[in-house]
């Protein structure tokens, strides 16, 4: 078994308290919290995460949105802006099982999914679940692993199940993969294949903190890691309830059409070689539901879709060679589309 290059183990097991809720936990009560409860819980999680990641409310909100939308998050930014910190803070603020995988070039698929090992006592093969069997999986530097290993995540991310040696193991909700990748250091990396990227609901970049936030960060990080002080503010079952609430969010026909139009517009766009998939539409609407719920609304407005369009769509798009020469990034293309596409209104 390969060992991570970093000092810490590439697998990190969470406190045992969370393990109870890991597999086969009781299903969430049907009478979960309403929208108000959701907002309360969500605010608690947000506050917890923001106590670690300072000055990035939009990023935190997006991360939370993806969590509630049953999606996966790809955080892409230069080193040292707190990608991993965000992932870990989010993971830790929810009292659920969290695994962290440090992707390295020699990481094997079975290192992620788990292996069947022969149990000599029982005289049978026994499945040793990999780190993917957790509620939140933090994949650090995902583009450092070989494509073979990266694609080990394909099945579990989309189908929420793992198949090893012909046996399929269900993953327990909530299940969320938070991956980070570094866009600058390209030496020895394997860019994520399109199929893999398409499975991430959203890609966000942290961006540098503003000077005030950075100053405050110096203060807090001076004494001890704020992550250590972070205690879970919500239970995994709470998150499951929240997801249920989000699923019940109303999306009007007009907004659905708007999402379809927006995604469709990327497909024929002259500056894009590859447009967004129907899965992107699904993710977009799902994320919009969560986004609206976080805004304490029981219906989705086009603004939600507009706000989410760039993080949800941009990483799935491939610009044409001309657009690349013109330094047109897919983010700009999507932003332009959002500006141009009329919002649905009656009488049209």
**Would you tell me which residues interact with another protein (CB under 8 A)?**
250, 252-255, 260-265, 267-270, 298-303, 306, 337-347
Residue 145 or 337 having the CB closest to another protein? 337
Rank residues 63 and 310 by Cβ distance to another protein and give the closer one. 310
Least distance between another protein and beta carbon 312 (Å) = 16
The 8 Å CB, 24+ separation contacts for 279-283 are 279/198, 279/199, 280/198, 280/312, 280/313, 280/316, 283/69, 283/71, 283/201, 283/202, 283/312
Q: CB of residue 48 vs another protein: minimum separation in angstroms?
A: 29
Residue with tokens 């080193």: 79
Beta strand pairing status for 98-102 and 136-140?
Answer: parallel
158's tokens: 């989309």
- To another protein, the closest distance from the beta carbon of 246 in angstroms equals 16
No. of helices (H) and no. of strands (E), the chain: 15, 14
Residue closer to another protein (CB basis): 209 or 344: 344
CB of 87 to another protein, least distance (A): 31
Nearer to another protein, 63 or 285 (CB): 285
**223 or 253, CB closer to another protein?**
253
Distance of closest approach, residue 263 Cβ to another protein, in angstroms:
7
| DSSP annotation string for 148-181 | HHHTHHHHHHHHSEEEETTEEEEPPSS-EEEEEE
Enter the tokens of residue 320.
Answer: 């044409």
């Amino acid at each position: 078994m390969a060992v991570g290059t970093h000092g810490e183990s590439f697998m990190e097991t969470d406190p045992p308290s969370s393990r109870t809720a890991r597999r086969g936990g009781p299903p969430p009560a049907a009478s979960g919290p309403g929208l108000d409860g959701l907002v309360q819980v969500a605010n608690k999680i947000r506050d917890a995460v923001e106590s670690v990641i300072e000055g990035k409310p939009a990023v935190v909100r997006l991360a939370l949105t993806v969590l509630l939308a049953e999606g996966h998050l790809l955080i892409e930014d230069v080193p040292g802006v707190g990608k991993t910190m965000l992932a870990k803070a989010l993971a830790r603020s929810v009292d659920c099982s969290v695994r962290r995988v440090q992707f390295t070039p020699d990481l094997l698929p079975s290192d992620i999914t788990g292996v069947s090992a022969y149990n000599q006592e029982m005289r049978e093969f026994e499945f040793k679940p990999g780190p993917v069997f957790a509620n939140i999986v933090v994949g650090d530097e995902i583009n450092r692993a070989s494509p073979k290993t990266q694609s080990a995540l394909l099945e579990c991310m989309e189908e929420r199940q793992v198949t090893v040696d012909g046996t399929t193991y269900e993953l327990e909700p909530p299940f969320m993969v938070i991956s980070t990748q570094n866009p600058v250091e390209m030496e020895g990396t394997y860019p994520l294949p399109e199929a893999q990227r398409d499975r991430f609901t959203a890609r966000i970049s942290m961006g540098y903190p503003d000077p005030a936030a950075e100053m405050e960060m110096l203060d807090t990080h001076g004494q001890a890691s704020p992550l250590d002080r972070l205690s879970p503010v919500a239970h995994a079952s709470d998150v499951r309830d929240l997801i249920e609430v989000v699923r019940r969010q109303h999306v009007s026909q007009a907004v659905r059409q708007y999402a379809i139009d927006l995604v469709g517009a990327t497909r024929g766009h002259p500056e894009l070689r590859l447009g967004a998939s129907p899965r992107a539409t699904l993710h977009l609407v799902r994320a919009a539901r969560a986004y609206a719920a976080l805004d304490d609304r029981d219906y989705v407005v086009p603004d939600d879709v507009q706000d989410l369009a760039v993080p949800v769509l941009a990483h799935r798009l491939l610009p044409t060679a001309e657009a690349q020469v013109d330094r047109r990034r897919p983010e700009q293309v999507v932003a332009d589309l959002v500006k141009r596409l009329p919002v649905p209104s009656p009488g049209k």
